[in-house]
Amino acid sequence: MSTGRIFGAVAAIAGEIRAGFTDRRQAEGANPTGDEQLAADVRADRLLAEELLAIESVAGYASEEREDVLDGGAGEYHVACDPLDGSSNLASNNPAGTIVGVYDRRPPAPGESLVAAGYVLYGPVTTMVVAEEGEEVTEYLIEDGERTVLKEDVRLPAEPTVYGIGGRAPDWPDSVAAYVERLEEKRLKLRYGGAMVADVNQVLAHGGVFGYPMLEGRPEGKLRAVFEALPMAYILEAAGGASSSGTESLLAAAPERLHERTPVFLGNADLIEALEATVEGR
Ligand code: FDP
Ligand code: ZN
């Protein structure tokens, strides 16, 4: 069976998730990693769990918003979601997203067990970018629960122009600070919006690099491996880019805990190579 039905279901509910933003921008509690949880996060998570677990080929649903995996039937796919990435952007009416990773093992599972990944971007329009095993990366427009192809064979532009690195600059290790200087020397332009999906999507559109690095007192960085880092790495690598935890591809990572965090760097292969060289002091 293919993973197409999973992304069809995600497209079908993206409009509903988006419609819930208007009156659900207030805090409701905290998620398993202690981040503030909005009513919109809770609703997106519930919609995705219901719709995805109803698909025969889906064996389980894991989410950034839930402590444990929800087991489903005897299917072959294990779906891991960040239901509302960048939800702190809702208060200021900036973009947010949904990240979907499809693993062939029950998470926490290694990057190499990803068979597909995609994200929805709630921007001025709603789009979805999907990478499925053995297929080219495709960008869709989502309207009224239907997806239509906007762009086939999405590839990172060879000439990078933008970068965005998260965390406070004083908390960056010297290697990251030195790397950012190198990016500036290469005349890349800073563009950081605070939602991973939107920031990575503009890297895919313009070429460049997105990072959420290891920080002083927080060597694991902020982003979650299973729900955010690995699926987005799968997409970027499928689009001809590269990913890194600082030392190796994120697809080589094998998280041991469901909500584990990891430093993340995604972008053009030469920029990721330069990052690893800087981190290793080369
Ligand atoms: P958010 O907390 O709003 O959900 O998922 C974590 C995330 O957003 C990413 O989308 C984003 O890249 C990052 O955190 C932003 O963190 P900063 O506020 O520290 O920049
Ligand atoms: Zn997120």
Give pLDDT tens digits for 37-65. Answer: 888 899 999 999 999 999 999 999 999 99
Q: Which pTM was predicted?
A: 0.96
What's the pLDDT score for residue 151?
98
Q: Is 166 in the pocket of ligand 1 (CB under 6 A)?
A: yes
Fold of the CATH domain 4-151: Fructose-1,6-Bisphosphatase; Chain A, domain 1 (3.30.540)
Indicate if the pLDDT at residue 1 is higher than 70.
Answer: no
Give pLDDT tens digits for 11-29. Answer: 999 999 999 898 776 677 7
Which residue's C-alpha comes closest to atom 12 of ligand 1?
196
Which residues face 103 on adjacent strands? Answer: 78, 114
Q: Is 194 in the pocket of ligand 1 (CB under 6 A)?
A: yes
Indicate if the pLDDT at residue 6 is higher than 70.
Answer: yes
What's the pLDDT score for residue 16?
93
Give pLDDT tens digits for 136-178. Answer: 999 999 999 999 999 999 999 999 999 999 999 999 999 999 9
Number of C-beta neighbours around residue 263 at 10 A: 27
Fold of the CATH domain 162-279: D-Maltodextrin-Binding Protein; domain 2 (3.40.190)
User: Which of 28, 84, 85 best tests ligand 1's pocket when mutated (most atoms within 8 Å of CB)?
Assistant: 85
Query: Which ligand is nearest to the Cα of residue 88, counting in written order?
Result: 1
Average pLDDT over residues 117-125: 98
Ligand 1 centroid to Cα of residue 89, in Å, is: 8
33 pLDDT band (50/70/90 cuts)? confident
The Cα 241–Cα 235 span in angstroms is 9
Indicate if the pLDDT at residue 132 is higher than 80.
Answer: yes
Tell me phi and psi for residue 13, to 5 degrees. Answer: -100, -5
Q: Is 11 in the pocket of ligand 1 (CB under 6 A)?
A: no
Ligand 1 centroid to Cα of residue 149, in Å, is: 28
Ligand 1 centroid to Cα of residue 196, in Å, is: 6
Q: b or e along 1-16 (b: 16 or more beta carbons within 10 Å of the residue's beta carbon)?
A: eebeebbebbbbbbbe
Which residue's C-alpha comes closest to atom 8 of ligand 1?
86
Give pLDDT tens digits for 186-220. Answer: 999 999 999 999 999 999 999 999 999 999 999 99
Give pLDDT tens digits for 58-117. Answer: 999 999 999 999 999 899 999 999 999 999 999 899 999 999 999 999 999 999 999 999
Q: Is 121 in the pocket of ligand 1 (CB under 6 A)?
A: no
Q: What order do you get walking across the sheet with 126-132 strand by strand?
A: 70-71, 58-63, 77-85, 96-103, 114-122, 126-132, 138-143, 146-151
What's the pLDDT score for residue 73?
86
| Protein residues within 5 Å, CB atom, of ion ligand 2 | 82, 85, 228
Indicate if the pLDDT at residue 221 is higher than 90.
Answer: yes
Which residues face 148 on adjacent strands? Answer: 141
130 pLDDT band (50/70/90 cuts)? very high
- Map out the domains of the chain as residue ranges: 4-151, 162-279
The Cα 22–Cα 10 span in angstroms is 20
The Cα 103–Cα 3 span in angstroms is 10
What's the pLDDT score for residue 25?
67
* Of 274, 97, 270, residue with least CA distance to 198: 97
Ligand 2 centroid to Cα of residue 207, in Å, is: 21
Contacts of 187 (CB under 8 A, 6+ apart): none
Give pLDDT tens digits for 229-243. Answer: 999 999 999 999 999
